[in-house]
Structures are given as C-alpha cells and as structure tokens.
Amino acid sequence: MAELYDTRRYLTNFDVQRTGNLFTDVLIIGSGVAGLRAAIEASRYGSVLLVTKDRIEQSNTAWAQGGIATVTAPDDTFDSHIEDTLTVGCGLCDRAAVDRMVREGPERIRELIDWGGLFDRRGEELLLGLEGGHSAPRIIHAMGDATGREVAETLIRVVRNKENVRVFEDCFAIDLIDLDGRCCGVATYHRHFRHQIFWARQTILATGGCGQLYRESTNPEVATGDGHAIAYRAGVPMRDMEMIQFHPTTLYIAGASRALISEAVRGEGAYLVDRQGRRFMPEYDPQAELAPRDVVSRAILSEMAKQNATCMYLDVRHLNSEKFRKRFPTISRLCEEFDIDISSQTIPVRPAAHYMVGGAQVDLEARSGMPGLFVCGEAASSGVHGANRLASNSLLEGLVFGAVAGAIAGQVAQQGGQPRFPKQLQSRLQPSGRTMLDLADVRNSLRSLMWRNVGIERYGPRLAETSEIIGFWGHYVMDKVFDDHEGWETQNMLTVARLMTVAATRREESRGVHFRTDFPHANTKLDGQHLVLQRQPDGLEIRLQV
C-alpha cells in the first residue's frame, strides 16, 4: 500500500496550458478563525484570495460554543495561563509558542471588539467563565454559548469589506502545487469553473480539523482532514498525528446527530452522574468535573463500560434554571427540542471526537517545512497544545497565529516578484483497472473503525487491524482519479486515518489524549519527544524529534 499513499503526488489530472489560471499575492485555504484572521492581516500588504470548499460560514469555528481563553482579569496573569496550558499539554508543548499565544491574546480580543464583536458583559466588564484545566476564570464568551458564531461573523464581515480580498466559495483545494520543492499555489475544483490553478507568492493552509473521521464527532461535515492530507502529499512534515482530543460531553440521543454540550456547563457547576444520579468524577480526579478533557472522557467511557450503559448524564437540576437558559440559550433550546426539561431531568451525554491536536509542523512564525507555505489553526502543529489542548485555547490559537501567518506571508509576498508560472506542468494519472468500492460505505465503515480502534482508548493489536483494513480500502480507492468532492474527501480521510493509526501504533505509552491500554503509563524517555511523519519518494518516513 505504500506506493498508493506515499508516492502518488497528486490526486487529479491537470495541465497548466489547458486549465484556468489565477494569480494572487497571498492565497489562503480555509475560512475558519485562522484563515479569516490571516486574510485580514495579509490584505494590508497585497492581494488576497481566500478559498473555501463550502460556504464561508461553514467551519469548526462557527460551531464553537465555550469561548476564548485570555487574560483580562486584574487578578489573572499570563504566567498562570501559560502554566495551565503546559500542564494540560503533558510535556509536549513548545513553551515559546504558548508564551506568544497567551501574551498576544488580549490584543487579538481588543481587535475583535473594535471590529464589532459583541462579548457578554456585566456593565462594562467582560463576563469570565471557568473551564477544565484553568486555574482562574478567564473564558470570555458571546451570546452565552455561541462564541464561535460571533467570532466567525465578525471576521467574515471584516473580510467582506476588504477590497483586495477575493473569496472563492464552493471551491475544493485538491493539492498544493510545488516547483522544486516550493509551494506556488493550489489545484482546485469549482462547481461552476471546474478545474483551476491558483498561483501565489505565499500560501496559507488553514483548513481546520478532521472530526468526520469518527462516527461520534462534534465537527461539521466539512471537517474531513483535507489540509492534513494535502500537506502530507506535498512532503510537509506532519507532527503528533496520534493526538486528537475527544470532548467529554456531547448530547446523546439515539438516532440523532451529536451536538456539543460546552465544557462551560461544567464550569458553571454541572455534575456528571450515572443513571442512578451518582456523581462519579471525584473518584477519578481531584478536579472532578473540571479535570482536563482526556481525563473526563476516559472516566465517562469507564463508567459506561462498568454499567453497560450507552451514556452518562449531566446534572444541572441544582442550578438556577432561568440563569442557565440565559447563559446557555443554544444548549437549552437543543434540550427542549428533545423534550429534556433541564430543571427536572438530566442530560444524556457521551464523548465525541472534537479537536485535532496534530498537524503540519510549523515554527513560531507559522512557517511549515515547505518554502512558501504557512499553516495555522487546527491544521497546524504549532506546539501550543502538546499532547492535549487546554479548553478554549483553540479560538485563541487561530486568532494569534492566523494574524502571524497573514502578516509574515503578506510581507514576504510584498517583497517578491511575480509568482512562478511554468509553461509546462501537468499531472497525468493512469486509469485504474481495479474494482470501484462504494465510497459512502467506505466512509461510514472508516468512521466506525476509527471510533472503535483509534478512539479514546487504543490497543496494539487493534491498531494493527486498523492499518490492515485501511490498507485494503486504499488499494481500491487511492488508485482512482475522481472529479468530485466525495472522492477526494474519501481519499483524504483514508490518508489521514492511516497517518493517525501509524503514529498511535508507534507511540507506545499513554500521554494526554493518546491512551494505550497496553502501555497505560507515560514513558519519561519520551518527554518532549514528538513523532514526525513525512512522505518521501521511497515511502513514509517516521522519526522522533525533540
């Protein structure tokens, strides 16, 4: 299977002489918080083209509930936020990256407010929530539990008003184009304009996460790991791909899609209980319901196994129901839709895939290992999360490093000449003679397989089984040339699933979100050691790196 995954550079056929070609100073792929913030910053230096495979509003950002962690209270400190982040990261954070994110956070929030972002206040003071892993209340939020939507709408409004920012919606980024190892743009497919190549002096990848690889996920349908896959195919080093965070509490209604129940609910005092109403988190961690997410997720999973139950429950009955509805209007409406009376009934919950910690390895300026390519947000491994993301640090990371990527990419593009445009460049793939599999069935089966074997708990033999099954599917899917989103997304999902499985197999310890039942403890020899996967001409290279 190595030939299919590791030596096939492009997924599609193209010829620059027969394909539409567009030029820009800075190209941005993705319309979440990181991509939007990068576009705003880059627009100060030249022309910007922002490409997104769905509508600009569709992203993980818009679905985020909890808030943004940032130091605003007089009795809070940068050092405290930094230490909380490092503690939850379990020895794999980059202190310099964490320091930058935390210290630049307040300025990014002030910008959002200046641009019209409305955060919840009491009088003139921002309301601050407390979430798991934080030593102080520092989570700002908007409309109670719709922070992501407010952030997205604010940034989209600013982007739409930038004359030198052009937005291409419904435009699928298939593969990065490289010349002599340098990123020069991307091959795309638009439903109206068909295949096009966008050439850029600098490219920023901000495509978000890959929650759709799992049967249980809080992510929207667009989160299929496309950025991770196209970066890998381009030869970009991919770091910590075994690290994906599972949110402990999503609403569990059999037959319905999973919906996030924000960690802020527990921050406001909700308890986790079993069917009998027994509170169990104090048995697992001194911080109880406010323990880090990996601890809470495994505790819920353990209780479900002990009791042969399909879910556990959030208990908010002891809280003031009117205040709860005001603080969490989205969650309250969701419960009402399923006839759950929060004043008298508990809320059924179980964990779900939530946030991809691993991604393309980048430095403090969001530069990847590929010249001309920056990566930010959930598609990047910036070092700020380590082995586990501290609650509400994700929107903060996107704002900070999106601005960093946009500024530096814009400055570099401003100094350079015209984007390189080769007169001869094409991709010609041979038609496959193998049987075509049902892609919908492959995707559904893959999601179940990943949830079962590469989920909250992993075990060596099951990881080996997963690699074998993914390899089988890849044999019949990765050799095909598709001309639609479903085909490319399925190929990307198989690629990312394989990388995650390989990394989870190689890390023979338990650390943060990565838990191996056959290696249940952290290995001190691996403190600070990252697994890096990189596509090479002769196959997949795996190495440990400090």
Q: Which amino acid type is present at position 409?
A: A
**Which H helix or E strand runs over 391?**
none
Tokens of residue 410, six digits: 């814009």
Residues 316, 265: contact at Cβ < 8 Å? yes
Strands (E), 3-67: 14-15, 20-29, 48-51
Residue indicated by tokens 């954070």: 93
Residue 67: phi and psi, rounded to 5, are 155, -160
* DSSP strand pairing (194-205 vs 312-315): unpaired
Tokens of residue 369, six digits: 């290992």
Picking from 376, 119, 385, the residue whose alpha carbon sits closest to that of residue 243 is 385
Active site residue 157: no
Picking from 128, 125, 153, 147, the residue whose alpha carbon sits closest to that of residue 36 is 153
> Of the listed 149, 201, 215, 293, which one is catalytic?
293
Picking from 2, 130, 152, 38, the residue whose alpha carbon sits closest to that of residue 76 is 130
- Name, in order, each residue with C-beta under 8 angstroms of 181's C-beta and a sequence gap of 6 or more: 235, 370, 371
Q: Is 58 exposed, middle or buried (0-12, 13-18, 19+ CB in 10 A)?
A: buried
Picking from 387, 386, 354, 394, the residue whose alpha carbon sits closest to that of residue 512 is 387
**Which H helix or E strand runs over 66?**
none
How big is the CA angle at 115 (ends 114 and 118), to the nearest 5 degrees? 80
Residues 68, 392: contact at Cβ < 8 Å? yes
Cα 219 vs. chain centroid, distance in angstroms? Answer: 9
**Which residues carry out catalysis?**
293
